[in-house]
């Protein structure tokens, strides 16, 4: 490796460490962790500041003498636009290097593909010279050709990219559960876990298996549809076309069905929240609905643990509200005897409801934090803030 290649390699290493570490480590800590010479680190940081990728700020607390500097995002640095498309709403945020995200807009929608038109208009309104790409988290399986299905909304093979109308702006589209798992591996409880399982439960459940922090995508890009596996022994038809799916017993839709409330078209988010709140207050019908949900989820987790052997399991969405004794007992009973002595921990997400949005942001920065991405930024870097 010649001197130029080595410098470019170390620039990327340093930039990646700042991003992955949440822009929280001092230059001295980064120098030590990356095993760089102090002079080399100083030159690298200076170059990244000149390229408007990083800016150093004094640490809030430091010893006497020269203030300790913390490299972080430049005020005119790259931004990733991230969007979280739910069954009944969407949210847009701008993310900086280091992982800090600022919500820019949010809106409800009617549960039809026309929601993509409004989302696209909102995204285009926030495009600017600092934006290096758009990441979209969608509440359904996304094929490698960008077609989206959301079974309980009746969406089939919806061409997302064309509907958004972003032109040449790089667009990364991913399933919400997989992106929530990616976020958990980068900034949550699955960081550093060699084999992790993440389940995201909203209107129905989905998830992803992560190997060394990377979600498995499958041959066609749609792996992780755990909600459409017959893990609970039922045989009822599911809107996806299969029978006996876990999603019929787990998620907001399952809570609504249990109490005889309308299901479909993204209806019922607030009603489901009220059911969970009522269960916490001891209302019998709500308690039964939530306990049945938790029992089915626990049974499903046990089956997935038997099959996939993760070191840890994390839950996001309303899966967090279902974590408790009922879920743990159902999971334990579903485990093979050989796994019961040391079952993997089942942990609530460290990111809460932000997981899919954070994962969408990470999906944009991954291709940017490459030699090609950084070199393109250097050649075309903007002069004005977005």
Sign of the CA dihedral with 116 first, then 316, 231, and 288 last: negative
For residue 23, what are the CA distances in angstroms to 74, 120, 213? 11, 30, 19
Q: How confident is the model at residue 108 (pLDDT cuts 50, 70, 90)?
A: very high
Q: Cβ contacts of residue 214 below 8 Å, gap of 6+? A: 185
Q: Does pLDDT of 366 surpass 70?
A: yes
Q: What mean pLDDT do residues 36-49 have?
A: 93
Q: Which residues pair with 142 in a beta bridge?
A: 148
Q: Does pLDDT of 62 surpass 70?
A: no
What percentage of the chain carries pLDDT values higher than 90?
Answer: 82
Distance of CA 256 to the CA centre of its chain: 26
Q: Does pLDDT of 98 surpass 90?
A: yes
Residue carrying the six token digits 């009973």:
333
What's the pLDDT score for residue 145? 83
Q: What mean pLDDT do residues 10-30 have?
A: 94
Q: What mean pLDDT do residues 20-29 have?
A: 93
What is the value of pTM for the model shown? Answer: 0.92
Q: How confident is the model at residue 308 (pLDDT cuts 50, 70, 90)?
A: very high
Q: Give the tens place of pLDDT for each residue, 249-259.
A: 999 999 999 99
Q: Does pLDDT of 386 surpass 50?
A: no
Distance of CA 215 to the CA centre of its chain: 11
What's the pLDDT score for residue 384? 47
Q: How confident is the model at residue 380 (pLDDT cuts 50, 70, 90)?
A: confident
The CA distance from 295 to 183, in Å, is 26
Backbone region of residue 168 per phi and psi (left: phi > 0; alpha: psi in -120 to 50; beta: other values): alpha
The CA distance from 328 to 31, in Å, is 43
Three-class secondary structure assignment of the chain? CCHHHHHHHHHHHHHHHHHHCCCCCCHHHHHHHCCCCHHHHHHHHHHHHHCCCEEEEECCCCCCCCCCEEEEECCCCCEEEEEEECCCEEEEEEEECCCCEEEEEEEECCCCCCHHHHHHHHHHHCCCCCEEEEEEEECCCECCCCEEEEHHHCEEEEEHHHHHCCCCCCEEEEEHHHHHHHHHHHHCCCCCCCEEEEEEECCCEEEEEEECCEECCCCCCCCCCHHHCCCCCCCCECCCCCECCHHHCCCHHHHHHHCCCCCCCCCCHHHHHHHHHHHHCCCHHHHHHHHHHHHHHHHHHHHHHHHHCCCEEEEEECHHHHCCHHHHHHHHHHCCHHHHCCCCCEEECCCHHHHHHHHHHHHHHHHHCCHHHHHHHHHHCCCCCC
Q: Give the tens place of pLDDT for each residue, 212-251.
A: 999 999 988 889 999 999 988 888 999 889 999 999 999 9
* Torsion angle, alpha carbons of 8, 11, 15, 17, to 10: 110
Q: Give the tens place of pLDDT for each residue, 195-220.
A: 999 999 998 999 999 999 999 999 88
Q: Does pLDDT of 11 surpass 90?
A: yes
Q: For all residues of the chain together, what is the average pLDDT?
A: 92
Q: How confident is the model at residue 1 (pLDDT cuts 50, 70, 90)?
A: low
Q: Does pLDDT of 385 surpass 60?
A: no
What percentage of the chain carries pLDDT values higher than 70?
Answer: 96
Q: Does pLDDT of 382 surpass 70?
A: no
Closest CA to 176 of 226, 144, 140, 218: 140
Q: Does pLDDT of 73 surpass 60?
A: yes
């Amino acid at each position: 490796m010649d001197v130029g290649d080595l410098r470019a390699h170390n620039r990327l290493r340093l930039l990646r460490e700042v991003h992955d570490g949440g822009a929280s480590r001092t230059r001295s800590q980064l120098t030590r962790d990356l095993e760089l010479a102090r002079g080399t680190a100083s030159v690298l940081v200076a170059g990244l500041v000149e390229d408007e990728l990083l800016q150093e700020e004094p640490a809030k607390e430091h010893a006497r003498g020269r203030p300790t500097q913390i490299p972080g995002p430049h005020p005119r640095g790259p931004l990733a636009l991230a969007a979280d498309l739910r069954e009944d709403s969407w949210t847009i945020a701008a993310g900086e290097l280091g992982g800090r995200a600022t919500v820019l807009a949010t809106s409800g929608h009617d549960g039809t593909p026309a929601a993509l038109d409004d989302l696209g208009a909102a995204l285009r309104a926030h495009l600017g010279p600092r934006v290096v790409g758009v990441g979209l988290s969608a509440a359904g399986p996304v094929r490698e050709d960008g077609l989206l299905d959301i079974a309980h909304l009746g969406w089939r093979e919806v061409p997302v990219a064309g509907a958004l109308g972003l032109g040449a702006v790089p667009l990364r589209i991913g399933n919400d559960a997989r992106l929530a798992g990616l976020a958990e591996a980068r900034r949550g409880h699955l960081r550093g876990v060699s084999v992790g399982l993440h389940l995201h439960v909203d209107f129905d459940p989905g998830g992803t298996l992560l190997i060394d922090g990377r979600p498995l995508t499958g041959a066609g890009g749609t792996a992780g549809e755990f909600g459409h596996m017959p893990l609970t022994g039922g045989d009822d038809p599911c809107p996806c076309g299969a029978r006996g799916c876990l999603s019929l017993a787990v998620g907001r839709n399952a809570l609504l069905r249990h109490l005889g409330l309308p299901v479909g078209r993204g209806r019922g988010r607030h009603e489901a929240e009220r059911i969970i709140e009522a269960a916490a207050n001891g209302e019998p019908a709500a308690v039964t609905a939530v306990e049945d949900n938790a029992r089915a989820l626990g049974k499903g987790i046990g089956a997935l643990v038997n099959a996939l052997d993760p070191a840890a399991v994390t839950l996001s969405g309303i899966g967090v509200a279902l974590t408790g004794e009922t879920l743990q007992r159902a999971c334990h009973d579903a485990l093979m005897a050989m796994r019961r002595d040391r079952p993997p921990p089942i942990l609530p997400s460290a990111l809460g409801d932000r997981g899919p949005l954070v994962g969408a942001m990470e999906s944009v920065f991954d291709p940017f934090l490459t030699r090609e991405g950084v070199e393109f930024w250097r050649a075309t870097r903007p002069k004005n803030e977005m």
